[in-house]
């Protein structure tokens, strides 16, 4: 099953979800490593270029995921209690905050990378032009925002994972199962 149904996610949504999760946590780990490097470290430039390039690929995955979400049915669990309805609303808004936070994180990364007026390179190719304007200390300001958003995204992703585990082990519902495998 490629597409979502009212009961389950399709393989494409599942693949996008887990690919993005792996990429996000990998970029976060690489970012933590990068901030410890000095200009003279052997992998200073390489790690930075890899982080930017994979970040742009993540942006394309994000755009594809948002488009896929808009064009596909979303699985629904029928809420039978007020608490379940509140949890569903919280889950919806958690997803919206994750999508918005991730977009904001990537935009701040773009502003860091293009603060000097040069295009953003992807695996050595100039791909994304810089804005025709910049602000004073753009790289530093965007860098601070990027760091706060990165930590916020990781905390939100951890809460998202804990909520899925709660649904699976405490509530005994199929919320986690739906994003692990596609049903026919």
Do the domain assignments include residue 134? Answer: yes
Q: Is residue 6 part of a domain?
A: no
Q: What is the mean pLDDT of the chain?
A: 93
Answer yes or no: is 4 within a domain: no
Query: Which structure tokens are listed for 174?
Result: 């199929």
pTM of this prediction?
A: 0.92
Residue closest to 102 by CA, chosen among 143, 53, 142, 152: 152
132 inside domain: yes
> Does any domain span residue 5?
no
What integer pLDDT is reported at residue 80 of this predicted model? 84
User: Which of 28-32, 72-76, 77-81, 178-182 holds the top average pLDDT?
Assistant: 28-32
* pLDDT tens per residue across span 81-122: 999 899 999 999 999 999 999 999 999 999 999 999 999 988
Distance CA(49)–CA(51), nearest Å, equals 5
pLDDT band at 184 (very low <50, low <70, confident <90, very high): low
């Amino acid at each position: 099953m490629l597409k979502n149904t009212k009961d389950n996610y399709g393989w494409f949504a599942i693949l996008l979800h887990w690919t993005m999760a792996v990429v996000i946590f990998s970029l976060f780990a690489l970012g933590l490593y990068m901030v410890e490097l000095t200009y003279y470290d052997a992998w200073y430039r390489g790690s930075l270029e890899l982080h930017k390039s994979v970040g742009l690929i993540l942006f394309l995955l994000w755009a594809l995921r948002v488009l896929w979400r808009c064009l596909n049915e979303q699985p629904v669990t029928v809420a039978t209690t007020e608490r379940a309805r509140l949890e569903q609303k919280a889950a919806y808004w958690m997803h919206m905050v994750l999508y918005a936070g991730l977009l904001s994180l990537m935009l701040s990364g773009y502003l860091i990378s293009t603060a000097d007026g040069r295009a953003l390179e992807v695996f050595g190719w100039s791909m994304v032009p810089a804005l025709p304007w910049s602000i004073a200390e753009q790289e530093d300001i965007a860098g601070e925002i990027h760091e706060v958003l990165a930590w916020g995204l990781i905390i939100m992703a951890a809460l998202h994972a804990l909520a899925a585990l709660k649904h699976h082990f405490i509530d005994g519902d199929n919320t986690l199962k739906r994003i692990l495998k596609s049903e026919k």
